[in-house]
Amino acid sequence: MNVNDSAESLRNRLFAGLPTAAVEAVERLLTAGGAVYIAGGAVRDAVMRRASVDLDIVTEGDAIDLAASAWPDAPLTTHERFRTASAEFSGFRIDVATARSETYAHSGALPDV
């Protein structure tokens, strides 16, 4: 198996249990422009061959702009301070975050972005 086969296999496992509407929403993000990465527990779940309960996506661009562009008809929940957006597709939640660095004033504090 070569690297591309492994990547395709992982992608197939990542999307295997998702509702069609969620897969289509991810595809719209991927084609809306800019670098987009799937991160977090969904990647772990795909490697471990488990179903995911949500998707965390990181973009090098602005997450709110990207989500609004990719999902013009979806009701978005946005957080301006953190430049994040989320929406549900057939009950499946997709969170999009702008890549950023953070610092914390103390343990348990909200980040300074």
Neighbouring residues of 81: CB distance < 8 A, sequence distance ≥ 6? 113
Q: For residue range 59-113, list pLDDT tens digits in order.
A: 999 999 999 999 999 999 999 989 999 999 999 999 999 998 888 888 888 888 7
- The residues with which 2 forms a beta bridge, in sequence order, are none
| Residue 55 in this model has a pLDDT that exceeds 90 | yes
Give the integer Cα–Cα distance in Å for 63 and 85.
6
**What is the model's pLDDT at position 103?**
86
Tell me the residue length of the chain.
Answer: 113
Provide mean pLDDT across the span 33-54: 87
Backbone angles phi, psi at 20, to 5 degrees: -55, -40
Kindly state the percentage of the chain with pLDDT values over 90: 50
pLDDT band at 25 (very low <50, low <70, confident <90, very high): very high
**What is the model's pLDDT at position 4?**
54
Give the integer Cα–Cα distance in Å for 25 and 74.
10
Neighbour-count burial for 38-72, b at 16+ CB within 10 Å, e otherwise: beeebbebbeeeeebebbbbbbebebbbbbbebbe
| Residue 1 in this model has a pLDDT that exceeds 50 | no
Q: For residue range 6-16, list pLDDT tens digits in order.
A: 777 878 888 88
